[in-house]
Amino acid sequence: MTYTTQMDAAKKGILTKEMETVARKENMEAAVLMDLVAKGRIAIPANKNHKSLDAEGVGEGLRTKINVNLGISKDCRCVDTELDKVRKAIEMKAEAIMDLSSFGKTEEFRRRLVEMSSAMIGTVPMYDAVGFYDKELSEISPEEFLKVVEKHAVDGVDFMTIHAGINRETAGIFKRNSRLTNIVSRGGSLLYAWMELTGNENPFYEYYDELLDICRKYDVTISLGDAYRPGSIADSTDASQIKELIVLGELTKRAWEKDVQVIVEGPGHMSLNEVAANMQLQKKLCHGAPFYVLGPIVTDIAPGYDHITSAIGGAIAAANGADFLCYVTPAEHLRLPNLDDMKEGIIASRIAAHAADIAKGVPGAREWDNSMSKARAELDWEKMFDLSLDPEKARRYRAESKPAHEDSCTMCGKMCAVRNMNRIMDGKNINILREDD
């Protein structure tokens, strides 16, 4: 029996090799996984042309995944520098990499990225359109926008952010309800500008069926972008954001009718007390589709530390139903991230994802922590390093400040509670001021 997409296969009861891979990684029964893929509650982004992919699932009952943003810009256009980031991101076990290149002919970087990456690859075709055609924004036709989407699909991109929910109707809501930071989504702002300049409907909304046909042909997962995501905590959960979310829910059902997998994107900047409710709103309005969040960034005052503000929001979001976290680096709002920024962002996001997985009861999550706790109780430093999210940093910190006694550290020395409890429990003496007997 043949199939077109992972969702089509699941509806027909066909267990694909990608489903087998995800079921094994997640310790989930293949039949359960297949049922959730068929219902749209799990997506397995896996373009037919991405041959190096090691498939991952995003959605209900699975580990929370993280995405790393990369790509060239007009001010930072070195492809080799970005490819170094790709290698490091894969080494650090990021499940997804998004190419957000926004300058010139991006095809070289995108093709090399897909060829070398075992992680799923995402793009935002809207960013590429101006450089692809070498035209000003208002001169690009709806047909040309769709051709860029197909180009990315042919190149092997697994999921694409498509801002289809920003249309003439939602633009009216935005105009009638003022915001502190207007539209901060790059793709969303470009489409809003295109609609204003041309007087036409958003081509990704008007020609959504044609877009779905492209995605079905190559099995591209649509990541429905949130053009009206709040860019400040003042704008969160407002009329524009919620109205767009309602439209995204409608577009989700239309995609599923054509067997196209969907991920829905969410906020954005948002105060802590609103995060859980927003996750519940998304799951309800978008029919349980996987939810992909940027942050949320829970305070606006920490440039240089937004990997931390994002990790706080991301942990709460994922614990309350978000399935996919887009990393945020210390460079957010300031510059294109360098390699060190990227590493900090990955670690912060992985901490948030894992903390949420513990809260959600994801199989195996708590066992990792229990193993670390056992290693600490035994003062087994090498095992602690091996179990660390960042073994390199843990080893370096230990090496930089060596204690006089190996069964302690330079913070507590022989007053170490773990060391002393181990000795007492073994019936040994504790000598704080003198050498041990």
| DSSP state, residue 386 | H
CATH of the domain at 355: 3.20.20.540
CB atoms within 10 A of CB 130: 18
Closest CA to 255 of 315, 207, 213, 317: 213
In a domain, 430, yes or no: no
Please count the structural domains in the chain. 2
Boundary-marking domain end, from 334, 360, 386:
360
Distance between CA atoms of residues 271 and 313, nearest Å: 8
CA distances to 60, 120, 390, 391 from 93, rounded to whole Å, are: 20, 11, 11, 13
Please identify, among 314, 331, 360, the residue that sits at the C-terminal boundary of a domain. 360
Question: Do 199 and 253 sit in the same domain of this protein?
Answer: yes
Same domain, 282 and 374: no
Range of the domain at 371: 365-425
pLDDT confidence of residue 272: 97
Contacts (Cβ under 8 Å, ≥6 apart) of 30: 15, 19, 20, 23
Predicted confidence at residue 199, as pLDDT, reads 98
Looking at the fold, whether 261 and 314 belong to one and the same domain comes out as: yes
Same domain, 185 and 280: yes
Measured CA to CA, the distance from residue 419 to residue 399 in angstroms comes to: 19
**316 and 287 assigned to the same domain:** yes
> Do residues 50 and 84 both lie within one domain?
yes
Is residue 435, in this structure, part of any structural domain at all? no
**266 and 338, same structural domain?**
yes
Kindly state whether residues 40 and 96 are assigned to the same domain: yes
Binding-site entries: 69, 98, 127, 163, 185-187, 226-229, 265, 269, 292, 333, 409, 412, 416
User: Same domain, yes or no, for 305 and 388?
Assistant: no
73/350 Cα distance (integer angstroms): 26
Cα distances (angstroms) measured from residue 119 to each of 78, 170, 241, 269: 21, 34, 30, 27
What confidence score (pLDDT) does residue 406 get? 87
Judge if 147 and 74 occupy the same domain: yes
165 part of a folded domain: yes
Of residues 318, 254, 258, 327, the one with CA closest to residue 290 = 318
Q: Does any domain span residue 79?
A: yes
What pTM was estimated for this model as a whole?
Answer: 0.95
* 61 and 195 inside one domain: yes
Burial of 40 (0-12, 13-18, 19+ CB in 10 A): buried
Residue list for the binding site for Zn(2+): 269, 333
Alpha helices in 117-158 (DSSP H): 125-133, 142-154
The distance from CA 119 to its chain's CA centroid, rounded to whole angstroms, is 12
In a domain, 242, yes or no: yes
According to DSSP, residue 4 is labeled S
Domain contains 431: no
Q: Are 264 and 303 in contact (CB under 8 A)?
A: no
Annotated binding-site members for substrate? 69, 98, 127, 163, 185-187, 226-229, 265, 292
Euclidean distance between CA atoms 37 and 431, whole angstroms: 61
In a domain? residue 109: yes
Q: Where does 12-78 have alpha helices with state H? A: 17-26, 30-39
Cα–Cα dist 32/244, whole Å: 31
Measured distance CA(171)–CA(24) in Å, rounded: 44
Specify the pLDDT at position 436.
67
- Average pLDDT for consecutive 10-residue bins of the chain (437 residues)? 96 98 98 98 98 98 97 86 95 96 84 96 94 93 98 98 98 98 97 98 98 98 98 98 98 98 97 98 98 97 98 98 98 95 98 98 96 97 97 95 90 92 92 76
Report the binding-site residues for [4Fe-4S] cluster. 409, 412, 416
Does residue 436 form part of some domain?
Answer: no
Residues 135 and 211 in one domain: yes
Q: Which of 360, 383, 406 is the last residue of a domain?
A: 360
Contact in structure between 167 and 205 (CB atoms under 8 Å):
yes
